[in-house]
Amino acid sequence: MVLADWIAIGVAIAVLALGALAGFGRALKWFTGGIMGILISVFVCYLIGGFFLDIEGIRNMLASLAANWKHIDWLYNMRLEIIIYYIVLFLICQIARILIVKIIGCVVETDLLPLKIINKVGGALFFFGVGLLITLLIFQIIYWVGGSALYDFYGKLAGSAFGLDKLLMNNPLVKFVDYIKGIVY
């Protein structure tokens, strides 16, 4: 085992303990609040926006809205109906996210022993998952920087018992980002 393995074990234990201490309800409220909550809602709008846009009733409503704006060319060229659609969808996603987080938080933070156990174990697993995502993000940034920084870091991870060197070079985020770039461009 290399030094990176021991660091990974220490960080994993600390993250699991912090997650168990906080609990799933508080962790979920904390991670989905503020700017992260807005980013989650934007991502959900991106994922489901096109699906609902293909529904015939919404398409007809947007077409009639656009037909009424033809006399104002700059509004018609701006595709204001699509902007309004995504603003309404964003507001719906925000409200749904807040309600779901509040409901889950109230359920798992009750004083029943089984739910306390679920809350603590769920918090530990949730924090561990977030820690893993942060690690993948750091590996992604190092991969983007490339050059000697990538190979020096890879050299420090080489021979890792947990396969951290393989994770650096075969990061799932690299494939996901490349996939998103293929869709966008």
Segment 112-135, tens digit of pLDDT: 898 899 999 999 999 999 999 888
CA 3 to chain centre: 30
The CA distance from 158 to 166, in Å, is 8
The CA distance from 122 to 13, in Å, is 15
Average pLDDT over residues 144-170: 85
| Predicted model pTM | 0.68
